[in-house]
A and B are shown apart, each in its own frame.
Chain A
């Protein structure tokens, strides 16, 4: 109950900041969408009186909600059977299935092309961000978050997720975006393929044998030993570094000029992490330690890619935390969900508030309905389709989508049908 009171107080505090001005609303003059539309009309690329379509742009394709809904059921089904690949499929839907990719390309390097591209990115981020929100809340309840690790990742991630939209929003055309998206899908395909090879299967078999050897030794630990306990770590400096990086994001998004201040703040925040030294904690009575700057560097890299592509980056955080940081599974899942959430919030804020990128909300709503319906179908069909076959289907799909997007993005044509 005490926790809930704390939560309510926090929300009220945030609300109070916004409350005062809300009593004096005003009418907006012009936003980036109407500016881009006017430019399109004056360039002769938009017919003023045409019927409004996507985002209310005259003559734009009308997004078909039924197709979106059916596609989302497929995405939900993938999420509940194979996992992470669902996020990629959501992106494929936004780019190809709804015809937005081809439409945006018609505008060449105009502001409208960039606005549609950014809108697709933010639509993906809303889907990822909401799912990260759900899982982070669950982990918070279970006490399975390594706060200092999450913070160090976030110090890198927050900077990375504003810097990349800042450096690329309005500059990356849809064509290039599709190309980079394709590369990531290919990498995922290769990761999946590795698991199904003979070597991958043998490794798994060995792991299962090792697991059964340790099964007998299972004994129940005392409840107090099971949670995360921080043994060593400089909290004060960590908070300062995080605050400085968040300040850099806010400055970059809210301040019109003197961008260099934001860059300096981000660099200072990152620099401070090098003075944090080693952080040690125990989980289930076993000690873990890591150098603070390593997750910070990982955070920059992962958030940069995730924010650029409008994806969560969870599939990059998980191998990073298991392989580089050597963390046990429960901590990996919770910590990466938290970092994805922080990154997505900053990134969505950057696009929507800083750059005024519009969103077609109704469409995201229809997609979410499809996703949860798909999630109810998945567990029921997986009984009939073996795990191995599911993986093979997705490897083929990942290679097809990856090759198609990469070649279309960088060569201008697809080397796989339809060309």
Chain B
């Protein structure tokens, strides 16, 4: 058994439990998959917060340089000096490229639970297919678990972000005595 399979079987009992709570299997499917989406969202937020904490000063440094180059290039353009604009714009692009890819790599911190969740769903539900409303039977045997999980994950993520924002605002407005 490889590490991934070992990990998966370790969390399997935990993840499958909500699927078995309701008697109706369809209700169980929705509840369980929502719970998986919630866990994926929360884990992603926690690791992203950690990475942000570690890298924030580097990101800020990169963005400050980018911003400076950008202002210089726009000034050159406003002054009608197209040649300088192009050259400075190139510098701005280079400065930004570095920070951009740093942020992209950091972004993996928020997304890593998604494929792992999909991997677990694949082990458990790869045989189940959902036919579509319109008979797009042309679509091979309907759609699979990914088409439920991904939109559900997006929805849960938006709701969690709003909830966190709302709690933050609430705490700001009513400071503890």
Give A contacts to B, CB under 8 Å: 4, 7-8, 11-12, 14-15, 17-18, 20-29, 31-32, 62, 64-66, 75-76, 79-84, 86, 126, 130-131, 134-135, 138, 203-204, 206-208, 210-215, 217-218, 253-257, 284-286, 318, 322, 326, 328-330, 332-333, 352-353, 356, 359-366, 368-369, 371-372, 374-376, 378-379
Minimum Cβ distance to chain B for residue A228 (Å): 13
Tell me which residues across on chain A come within 8 A of B74, comparing CB atoms: 284, 286, 328
Whether A79 contacts B51 by the Cβ 8 Å rule is no
Minimum Cβ distance to chain B for residue A16 (Å): 10
Tell me which residues across on chain B come within 8 A of A64, comparing CB atoms: 2
Minimum Cβ distance to chain B for residue A43 (Å): 23
Bound-state Cα–Cα, A326 to B74, Å: 12
Whether A18 contacts B148 by the Cβ 8 Å rule is yes
Interface SS majority for chain B: helix
Whether A62 contacts B2 by the Cβ 8 Å rule is yes
Whether A329 contacts B96 by the Cβ 8 Å rule is yes
Known A20-B133, A218-B72, A329-B69: A365·B87 in contact at CB below 8 Å: no
Q: How many residues of B contact A (CB 8 A)?
A: 83
Interchain residue pairs A-B with the least CB separation, the first 9:
A375-B105, A361-B119, A134-B107, A207-B87, A365-B116, A362-B119, A368-B112, A79-B105, A372-B109
* Contact residues of B between 73 and 99, Cβ < 8 Å to A: 73-79, 81, 84, 86-93, 96-98
Whether A76 contacts B105 by the Cβ 8 Å rule is yes
Bound-state Cα–Cα, A62 to B4, Å: 12
Considering residues A8, A353, A360, which has the most beta carbons from chain B within 10 angstroms of its beta carbon?
Answer: A353
Over the window 113-133 of chain B, the binary record of Cβ atoms lying under 8 Å from chain A Cβ atoms (1 yes, 0 no) is 111101100100001111111
Tell me which residues across on chain B come within 8 A of A332, comparing CB atoms: 93
* Contact residues of B between 17 and 66, Cβ < 8 Å to A: 26, 29, 47, 51, 54-55, 58, 66
Interface SS majority for chain A: helix
Whether B155 contacts A218 by the Cβ 8 Å rule is no
Known A8-B155, A210-B88: A130·B4 in contact at CB below 8 Å: no
Supply 15 A–B pairs (Cβ within 8 Å), ascending by A.
A14-B151, A21-B131, A22-B26, A83-B100, A86-B101, A86-B104, A131-B108, A204-B91, A210-B81, A210-B84, A211-B69, A214-B79, A330-B70, A361-B118, A365-B119
Minimum Cβ distance to chain B for residue A61 (Å): 12
- Determine whether B143 belongs to the interface, using a CB cutoff of 8 Å to chain A: yes
Tell me which residues across on chain B come within 8 A of A203, comparing CB atoms: 87
Whether B91 contacts A21 by the Cβ 8 Å rule is no
Whether A369 contacts B101 by the Cβ 8 Å rule is no
Bound-state Cα–Cα, A203 to B2, Å: 52
Whether B92 contacts A328 by the Cβ 8 Å rule is yes
Bound-state Cα–Cα, A131 to B146, Å: 19
- Determine whether B140 belongs to the interface, using a CB cutoff of 8 Å to chain A: yes
Tell me which residues across on chain B come within 8 A of A26, comparing CB atoms: 128-131, 141-142
